[in-house]
């Protein structure tokens, strides 16, 4: 098979090119899913962390969401703490603050 043909056969369809796998936060059962597997589960209410997960789920899991914590002197620290706690509880997704705490992003871990 020629390299030209191999390249053409490996191309993704338009649907595959635009399809994006994102997490799913099941707030009713307090489970965070990734690619069909539960990667984090809360046994009891975790309102602080849930606020961030709710923000991402409500927005459809874009790369970044506005900081969902109340504005004020603690908003940046609250966002940082939530990212740290959520990132430490599972090994698939890393949460980070961006733009001086005004936004929060998520990404797959590469380590």
Read off the CATH number of the domain in which 105 is found.
Answer: 1.10.10
Pick 45 or 54 by higher pLDDT. Answer: 54
- Asked if residue 63 belongs to a domain, the reply is yes
- Asked if residue 100 belongs to a domain, the reply is yes
- Asked if residue 10 belongs to a domain, the reply is no
Report the percent of the chain where pLDDT is more than 70. Answer: 83
pTM of structure: 0.80
Domain that holds residue 79: 45-111
Under the banding of pLDDT at 50, 70 and 90, the label for residue 26 is very high
Residue 37 CA: distances (Å) to CA of 23, 24, 41, 53, 93: 10, 10, 11, 16, 13
Domain count for the chain: 1
- Beta bridge partners of residue 96, listed in sequence order: 105
CA distance 18 to 65: 20
pLDDT at 8 over 70: no
Query: With the CA atoms of 80, 83, 87 and 92 taken in that order, what torsion angle do they form, in degrees rounded to the nearest 10?
Result: -140
- Asked if residue 85 belongs to a domain, the reply is yes
Mean predicted confidence (pLDDT) in 88-97: 97
Under the banding of pLDDT at 50, 70 and 90, the label for residue 5 is very low
Helix residue ranges, H only, 1-111: 3-9, 14-18, 47-59, 75-88
- Asked if residue 89 belongs to a domain, the reply is yes
- Asked if residue 12 belongs to a domain, the reply is no
- Asked if residue 23 belongs to a domain, the reply is no
């Amino acid at each position: 098979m020629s390299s030209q043909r191999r390249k053409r056969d490996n191309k993704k369809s338009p649907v595959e090119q635009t399809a994006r796998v994102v997490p799913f936060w099941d707030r009713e059962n307090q489970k965070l899913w990734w690619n069909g597997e539960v990667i984090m589960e809360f046994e009891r209410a975790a309102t602080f962390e849930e606020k961030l997960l709710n923000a991402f789920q409500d927005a459809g899991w874009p790369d970044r969401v506005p900081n969902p914590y109340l504005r004020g002197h603690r908003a940046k620290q609250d966002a940082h703490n939530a990212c740290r706690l959520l990132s430490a509880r599972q090994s698939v997704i890393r949460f980070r603050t961006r733009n001086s705490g005004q936004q929060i992003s998520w990404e797959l871990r590469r380590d």
